[in-house]
Amino acid sequence: MTSFIPNDKISEIKNSADLVDVVSEVVLLKKTGKNYLGLCPFHSEKTPSFTVSPEKQIFYCFGCGAGGTVFSFLMKQEGISFPDAARSLARKYGIEIPITHLSSEQKRLITERENLLSVNKEAMTFFCQTLLKSSEGKSAKAYLLSRRLTEKTIDDFHIGYAPLGWEHLVNHFSKKKIPASLVEKTGLILLKRSRGGYYDRFRNRVVFPIFNLNQQVIGFGGRVLDDALPKYLNSPETPVFNKSRSLYGLNRAKKRCRESDTVFIVEGYFDLLALHQHGIENTVATLGTGLTKEHIRLLKGFVSKFYLVYDSDDSGIKAAQRVIEIFRAEEVDARIVVLPAGHDPDSYLFNSGSEAFMDVVSKALGIIPFLIESAVKKHGLSVEGKIRIISDLKGPLALINDRIARSLYIQKISERIGVDEAAVLEKVRETSSRKTTISNQIYRFDKTGGKKKAPKEMGSKLERKIIEMMLQFPDAIPEVTRRNLLKHFEDEMLKSIGEMIVGYSGPFNQFVSDTITSIDNEEKKRTINSLAIGGDLWEKEGCNKLMNQFESIKHRRENTLLLKIKAAEMRDDKEELLALLKEKQNQARKSG
């Protein structure tokens, strides 16, 4: 574990680092007795069960069983290795780690992350200098000013300019004697396909550096100065840049987020800058990935109130439909802010000011009420309109796995539009029952012929089905990754196949042949082979249904376990309770 770093250094770091300090950067902790308590950053919860002991310098979550030292916390939270966690702490506490006695390979491994970060930092300096000091930078600066950004905002956010031409950054790093192969790993430069050599990714664009919570530059976003396409360009994912876990501006927003317990989430760089410049500093922006579960978990460490800001009813509706289940699963309430027609947050703030903006915010509705009102506005309350309203809403409602939540919403709709609750429910059921066609197919192939399956067995069938889907309909792979389905797999072999599929970098149609010739495990080979050939015709809709079903079964299994634990507690059956808690921890470990 402690590879590459001398043990005495590890102890020095351990002795200097304060776990409460480190955890507090991402989790809001409250003192309770001798411990601190907060919402767990590793699983969804509404009541805090994440406990930090300042005395023992350990943490433990009574909800998911995550626990450990300051090192394990950083590793889990940032998804980094032990040496990286140790070095990050060493930096924070001013401890020097000697690397002289390391082999060159060890040095490479240990320092790659830091190297990437320092390349990014150097590039940021280059972009900033070019904006301020070069003649070409002038037009970029003029552009930023025309977008009504102030010098202070440009400076605060370290906005820069990547000049026109193919090799400015390439040459800059070459002059600094920094290997191009290293710079390439940040995505700032790319290898030329034909003639060898490298070229700059960002050309003739204003450049926004993206920071992590430690104020390190992890990536960049660039915007053209005119109407050229693509309008926006981001750094690719790298070992230091994970878009689904990063938010633009969070480094500057976090303090105000904590103070106000509120965050505004926007979609673009200029929207974010406009809000910050108008004093609404508790604002972050997504990086072209849409909002993810990881984003929400990250933000939960700072706030409990979420506002999603959109520029039109339509984009608000689309986004609301997309995030409805993520927010519900994370047990967080979100409100949808839609600006008056023709405005985005940027234009609205500059035209109408922050007071007008906050006025719109004060009228923002929760996700479901927003969808209901939007549908009413769009279709009206005639008989025809009501039918369309239900038809618009049944999809999003069917996505809600929690029955109680769903029935409460159905009640709301029926009250709002004056249609009998049972009728609305029936429509929603039609939609959700279509979700189960896939499971019917699974039953059909089931040799035992038994209709009722234990959830566990059912789970494993679904796992096979998902692998089959990935093999036969590779378009679904990104969604499997996005929903993090493989993490929940019980069957280790199926899971490892799934991971092989996700990690495969060649042309996908060669995956099966490649893999079955290269692996030794006969059973695995057979499984891949048979699932790749199996019988279903896959299309997008069916894939989504399958994935929804898998998620809901997993969810149900967790709930059953919780009930059993409660019952064992009531009976005071210690043996049973211990066994159940262990099982729960195993599950939690799986869902990480």
Which residues bind to Zn ion, rule: CB under 5 A? 40, 42-43, 61, 63-64
> Rounded to the nearest whole angstrom, what is the least distance from the CB of residue 302 to Zn ion in the complex?
17
The nearest distance, CB 435 to Zn ion, in angstroms, is: 29
Q: Are strands 198-200 and 189-191 parallel, antiparallel or unpaired?
A: antiparallel
Least distance in angstroms from the C-beta of 64 to Zn ion: 3
Nearest to 131 by CA among 68, 205, 231, 80: 205
Query: Minimum CB separation from Zn ion for residue 23, in Å?
Result: 12
Closer Cβ to Zn ion, 298 or 413, answer by number = 298
Alpha carbon distance 371, 321 (integer Å) = 8
Residue linked to tokens 């926006």: 232
Return d(Cα 546, Cα 568) in angstroms, integer: 33
Least distance to Zn ion, CB of residue 592, Å: 10
Residues 6 or more apart whose CB falls under 8 angstroms from that of 46 comprise 39, 331
Nearer to Zn ion among residue 37 and residue 309 (C-beta): 37
Q: Which CB sits closer to Zn ion, 43 or 87?
A: 43
481 vs 585 by CB, closer to Zn ion = 585
Nearer to Zn ion among residue 43 and residue 406 (C-beta) = 43
Q: How far apart are CA 280 and CA 357, in angstroms?
A: 10
Q: Which of 450, 474, 453, 458 is nearest to 540 (CA)?
A: 474
Q: What is the 3-state secondary structure of 384-434?
A: HHHHHHHHHHHHHHHCCCCHHHHHHHHHHHHHHHCCCHHHHHHHHHHHHHH
| Shortest CB 69 distance to Zn ion, Å | 16
CA–CA separation, 92 and 478 (whole Å):
35
Nearer to Zn ion, 43 or 252 (CB): 43
Phi and psi (nearest 5°) for 206? Answer: -75, 145
- Pick between residue 43 and residue 464 the one whose CB is nearest to Zn ion: 43
Hey, what amino acid is at 521?
A: N
Q: How far is the CB of 32 from Zn ion (least distance, A)?
A: 16
DSSP 100: T
Q: Residues with Cβ < 8 Å from 546, sequence gap 6 or more?
A: 438, 462, 465, 466, 469
Question: For residue 166, what are the contacts with CB-CB under 8 A and spacing of at least 6?
Answer: 199, 200, 203
425 phi and psi, to 5 degrees? -55, -40
- Give the residue with the Cβ less far from Zn ion, 63 or 459: 63
| Close Cβ partners of 300 (under 8 Å, ≥ 6 residues apart) | 39, 41, 330, 332
Q: How far is the CB of 65 from Zn ion (least distance, A)?
A: 7
Which residues neighbour 80 within 8 Å (Cβ) at sequence distance 6 or greater? 74, 88, 113
- Closer CB to Zn ion, 42 or 161, in the complex: 42
Q: How many CB atoms lie within 10 A of CB 361?
A: 17
CB of 577 to Zn ion, least distance (A): 19
Instruction: Give min distance, CB of 290 to Zn ion, in A.
Output: 25
In this complex, which beta carbon is closest to Zn ion, that of residue 107 or of residue 487? 487
Tell me whether the omega of the peptide bond preceding residue 230 falls within 30 degrees of 0, making it cis. Answer: yes
Residue pair 295/332 in contact by the 8 Å Cβ criterion: no
**Is the CB of 42 or the CB of 157 nearer to Zn ion?**
42
The answer to whether 333 touches 366, Cβ cutoff 8 Å, is yes
Closest CB 88 distance from Zn ion, rounded Å: 22
Q: How far is the CB of 53 from Zn ion (least distance, A)?
A: 15
Our CB check for Zn ion shows the closer of 42 and 357 to be 42
